[in-house]
Structure 1
Amino acid sequence: MLKHNEYATFVANQIAMKFNTKTIHGGQENIDPGYGSVMPPIYQTSTYAQSTPGGHKGFEYSRSGNPTRSALEKSLASLENGDFGLAYGSGLAAIDAVLKLFKPGDEIIATKDLYGGSYRLFTAIFENLGIRFRFVEMGEENNIKQYITDNTKMIWVETPTNPMMNIIDIAAVSKIAKTNKLLLAVDNTFATPYLQLPLDLGADIVMHSATKYLGGHSDVVVGGLVVKDEKLAEKLYFIQKASGAICGPQDSFLVLRGIKTLHLRMQRHCENGEAVAKFLKAHPKVGKVYWPGFRDHPNHHIAKKQMTGFGGMISFSTKEDTLESATKVVENLKVFTLAESLGGVESLAGHPASMTHASIPKEEREKTGVVDSLIRLSVGIEDEEDLIGDLEQALG
């Protein structure tokens, strides 16, 4: 995390930089004063020499800080127009750190249809520690108001949601949060800062599973948080240091390398995503298609307002609407790989009900639309003709 005396310099250097430039240079000044390395070096060390007790060059032990991780944290902050970034061993470790801000008796309002791992962490871990979660349909933001009590401390938003691609108006929810003196946290994994900037829309915390689009190559597991408020950053840094759920220098380096091509990859993800979504919508063996770029998609007008594109994540159900039909499609794909995760250069297909969202009870899953016939696609950066051809043969 940025130290206090770095704050003013960091902000001043980031203000005028455009996004594509930030992916290459954001937050990366003076990363190697010793030898002038163009790329951030991998500081594969657990500890650092001290000239006198307590006298060091900014780093003492790699749980509390490591130069490679620090470079990643500064990059994350720059991309999200934040002031403080923190990197963790996974996206769930980042969420875990946020939840440790609260105490037994506190209540959190969360998006109803969210990632299964987030739901599992909320209900199987933190509910047992005395924190209460209320899962709310946020497509209409005013639904939130009736669930706010004196014990409510935070609103947790995921938009677009995983896997139903529902869109939540971040600016509108921010007004509700500020009126009621609540924190607003946004999981920005699907959109990435290339498409959406929650802090600019009023959020207090942005979370990323950097495993996905930020890393971009399906070869690393990392999580990140970005905030603007210094006191909030200090609390999160203390939790990071005390709990130790950090990412290592090699993982930090891999995500930094991935970020440098984020803008180029996202352009292709968006282009291919649109082509695949339109193909699926016109196919006779496909039922519903969930992609925010369609005019009839719920809250399309909100997506158009708060996002600069609609991304490469798509969900769809088979026309037969059965587990067997969905299984047959994903098992017959050749270019798309049947696998967990998303956001890599390669195209992936998943079956949420039995994979990413299996930890959510079936009855609860189906209330949000995660039925057995639902398939989720992470559209990669291959040639769109090959992707569409693969879906054509699998559906046919």
Structure 2
Amino acid sequence: MSLPDDATPWHDPTRLLHGDAGLGDDSAVSPPIHYSATFKARDAAEFAEMAGTPRHAAYYTRYGNPTHERVAAILAALEGTETAMLTASGMGAISTTVLALVQAGDHVVAQGRHYMSTAKLFDEVLPRFGVQVTIVEQTDLAALEAALRPETRLIMLESPANPTLVLTDLAAVAALARPRGILTIADNTFASPINQKPHALGIDVVVHSATKSLGGHHDLTAGAVCCSQALAERIWPMHITLGSVLSPMDAWLLLRGLRTLAVRMERMNANALALAQWLEAQPQVERVWYPGLPSHPQHALAQRQMQGHGPVVALALRGGYEQTSRFVASLQLATHAVSLGGVETLIVHAAAMWGGLMSEAQMASTGIQPNFVRLAVGLEHIDDLKRDFGRALQQV
């Protein structure tokens, strides 16, 4: 998007609305959905040019699509990167990026707390293909630095981390990695680019599950990779090989969702902080984790690297599994479902959700106790949320 006349960058809410200006047919106020798998060429010369242009927006939708192009332009503007690519899911974005940037014999460092499928990629998949992985506690910079080797090619980060909202000092990790020629990837899903800009802190690649806050309505599945043109040229061939292609319809839904991201996130940030403060004062609540609370052990880091603290709040109730299940079941406004960042408040009893997929030891190592709850705050009126949660807490 071009700069205003005084060369001052546009603010994020304006980028969301006008970041795709000049792409496609601008006669339509609402951009069309380019629901076509393939696009025609006028002659052999144009066909050869289309086929030979990486990420061409109108050749074949696995390679690119005009609707994808609009979304990518907005995301790149938000994250401050040269370009962006879309995938069919957040894990599509993460897996494609990692597999494109490492090979047998390489070494990767990953933090100890990640989205579960990301953790499986590093714990189970990469070692099968000859890539060594070292897992470190993300709050321990000395341990992370000690894990680096001459063959280390990549550091994978996530901040805030799912589900316990542990933070990683992104600027400090980037400062360790860049002089050594090590690439860094940060999953920015929990924060969103409204609240945190990892690339500005020195991170090379920013990935998202766009299913969450970017889409914002629990009606699509998508992923995004934001990076330099040079890195995109390395990642894109793996993308078209693996085929994690976002449908034009979901790309259009994502485009529509992005238009309201700034106003939605402003309300979610306010709701989440107010609810976290209120929950912290309730006698039935043992502990609350939220980066915006002074009680969060990394609150100072959150203030330094985040502009807002996101919609996710974690809490532990006074009681065990049964009391926690009763509390969750008693809520009327919070829907018992996975995901986050949508207009409705969602809640999960973490031990119930992950219990069938992780051992008790694995859950304990990631901070998931029987009384642990993850809450993704939506756009409801805060007084109604407090009333609903207060009523449910009486059941604990």
**TM-score of the two chains, using structure 2 as the length reference:** 0.93
Aligned pairs for 1:363-382 (under 5 A) are: 363-382=361-380
Which residue number corresponds to residue 91 of structure 2? 92
Could you tell me whether the CA contact under 8 Å between 1:168 and 1:299 is conserved in 2? no
Give the Cα–Cα distance (whole angstroms) in 2 for the partners of residues 110 and 202 of structure 1: 17
Shift of 1:141: 2.1
Which residue number corresponds to residue 337 of structure 2? 339
Give the Cα–Cα distance (whole angstroms) in 1 for the partners of residues 104 and 351 of structure 2: 31
Could you tell me whether the CA contact under 8 Å between 1:139 and 1:299 is conserved in 2? no
Q: Deviations over 1:41-73 (max 9, x none)?
A: 101001111111251575221111110011111
Aligned residue identity for 1:347: T
Aligned residue identity for 2:23: I
Summarize the Cα distance change of 1:353–1:122 in structure 2 as closer, same or farther, 3 Å threshold.
farther
Aligned pairs for 1:151-166 (under 5 A) are: 151-166=151-166
Aligned pairs for 1:163-202 (under 5 A) are: 163-202=163-202
Aligned pairs for 1:380-395 (under 5 A) are: 380-395=378-393
Which residue number corresponds to residue 32 of structure 1? 24
In the alignment, does 2:206 pair up with 1:206? yes
In the alignment, does 2:121 pair up with 1:121? yes
**TM-score of the two chains, using structure 1 as the length reference:** 0.93
In the alignment, does 2:278 pair up with 1:268? no
Aligned residue identity for 1:311: G
Shift of 1:294: 1.5
Q: Deviations over 1:177-215 (max 9, x none)?
A: 113221111100011010100000000000000000000
Shift of 1:227: 0.5
Could you tell me whether the CA contact under 8 Å between 2:164 and 2:314 is conserved in 1? yes
Summarize the Cα distance change of 1:195–1:329 in structure 2 as closer, same or farther, 3 Å threshold.
same
Structure 2 unpaired stretches of 5+ = 51-55
Give the Cα–Cα distance (whole angstroms) in 1 for the partners of residues 388 and 327 of structure 2: 10
Could you tell me whether the CA contact under 8 Å between 1:208 and 1:224 is conserved in 2? yes
Shift of 1:40: 2.2
Could you tell me whether the CA contact under 8 Å between 2:102 and 2:154 is conserved in 1? no
Which residue number corresponds to residue 324 of structure 2? 326
Q: Secondary structure at the match of 1:127?
A: helix
Which residue number corresponds to residue 131 of structure 2? 131
Which residue number corresponds to residue 55 of structure 1? 46
Shift of 1:137: 1.0
Q: Once the two structures are aligned, what percentage of the paired residues are identical?
A: 33
Aligned residue identity for 2:376: S
Over aligned residues, Cα RMSD in angstroms? 1.7
Q: Deviations over 1:321-365 (max 9, x none)?
A: x21121111111110000011110000001223325753432122
Could you tell me whether the CA contact under 8 Å between 1:108 and 1:155 is conserved in 2? yes
Which residue number corresponds to residue 53 of structure 2? none
Could you tell me whether the CA contact under 8 Å between 2:3 and 2:10 is conserved in 1? no
Q: Deviations over 1:208-265 (max 9, x none)?
A: 000000000000000001002x221101112122221110110000011111000100
Give the Cα–Cα distance (whole angstroms) in 1 for the partners of residues 355 and 208 of structure 2: 18
Moved more, 77-86 or 353-362: 353-362
Moved more, 51-60 or 361-370: 51-60
Give the Cα–Cα distance (whole angstroms) in 1 for the partners of residues 350 and 131 of structure 2: 27
**How many residues are treated as equivalent by the alignment?**
383
Q: Deviations over 1:70-91 (max 9, x none)?
A: 1111111111111110000000
Give the Cα–Cα distance (whole angstroms) in 2 for the partners of residues 149 and 234 of structure 1: 26
Moved over 3 A (4+): 10-15, 356-361
Could you tell me whether the CA contact under 8 Å between 1:97 and 1:236 is conserved in 2? yes
Which residue number corresponds to residue 299 of structure 2? 300
Structure 1 unpaired stretches of 5+ = 1-9
Summarize the Cα distance change of 1:234–1:310 in structure 2 as closer, same or farther, 3 Å threshold.
same
